[in-house]
């Protein structure tokens, strides 16, 4: 029996549907590229390494460097250590409506940080520094939850995040209003 391969056969209806399918995919990819490149909507990322076994000796994550700090230019940074079973310091206060950069390192195993109802989320991987910037639109009390299995006490791993209004924040940190 001799036979030769025939050309690809696509039914006219299939052709129409393929157009619809490509249009759908183009729409989704287009939205992602647009919001990524023009509105800077990105997941965290960056490949910065750190020795998780020696955080206490590091410039950035030694115990007395942790917490909220305001740079001379007004930029707000939160430095956290994730360790069984909490994010340290356990309670932090930040202003609403301003960009806040979180820098987090793990002292032991995998952790994940998520503040429900906001888009603050990142994995915390031992050996690497997680950096994520966000702003919280509304003041309030938020739990800062560990969302990655880290051991038998995982259920209890959470800290408190208090988002205060800009006025309350200014009252708390008079220095930040100086030029």
Could you give the C-alpha distances from 131 to 4, 40, 141, in angstroms and in order?
Answer: 58, 15, 22
Contact by Cβ (8 Å): 115, 101: no
Q: Site for other proteins (CB under 8 A): which residue of 63, 156, 167, 171? A: 156
Can you tell me the distance from the alpha carbon of 86 to that of 176, in angstroms, rounded to the nearest whole number?
29
Q: Looking up tokens 């739990």, which residue turns up?
A: 143
Q: 80: helix, coil or strand?
A: strand
Ramachandran assignment for 127, one of left (phi > 0), alpha (psi -120 to 50 degrees), beta (any other): left
For residue 170, state whether it binds other proteins (rule: CB under 8 A): no
For residue 128, state whether it binds other proteins (rule: CB under 8 A): yes
For residue 117, state whether it binds other proteins (rule: CB under 8 A): yes
> What backbone torsions phi and psi does residue 74 show, to the nearest 5 degrees?
90, -5
For residue 131, state whether it binds other proteins (rule: CB under 8 A): yes
* Cβ closest to other proteins, residue 44 vs residue 176: 44
Q: Site for other proteins (CB under 8 A): which residue of 21, 75, 171, 172? A: 21
For residue 23, state whether it binds other proteins (rule: CB under 8 A): no
* Cβ closest to other proteins, residue 63 vs residue 155: 155
Binding mask 31-70 toward other proteins (x if CB under 8 A, else -) reads: -xx-xx----xxxxxxxxxxxxx-----------------
């Amino acid at each position: 029996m001799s036979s030769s391969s025939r050309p690809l056969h696509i039914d006219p209806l299939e052709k129409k549907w393929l157009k619809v399918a490509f249009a759908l995919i183009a729409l989704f990819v287009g939205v992602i590229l647009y919001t990524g490149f023009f509105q800077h909507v990105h997941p965290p990322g960056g490949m910065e390494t750190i020795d998780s076994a020696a955080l206490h000796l590091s410039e950035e994550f030694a115990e007395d460097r942790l917490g909220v700090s305001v740079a001379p230019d007004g930029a707000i940074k939160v430095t956290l250590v994730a360790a069984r079973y909490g994010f340290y310091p356990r309670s932090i206060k930040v202003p609403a409506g301003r960009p806040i950069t979180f820098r987090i390192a793990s002292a032991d195993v995998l952790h994940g940080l998520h503040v429900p109802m906001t888009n603050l989320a990142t994995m915390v991987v031992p050996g690497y520094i997680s950096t994520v910037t966000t702003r919280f639109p509304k003041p309030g009390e938020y739990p800062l939850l560990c969302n990655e299995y880290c051991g038998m006490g995982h259920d209890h791993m959470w800290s408190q995040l208090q988002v205060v209004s800009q006025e309350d924040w200014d009252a708390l940190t008079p220095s930040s209003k100086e030029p």
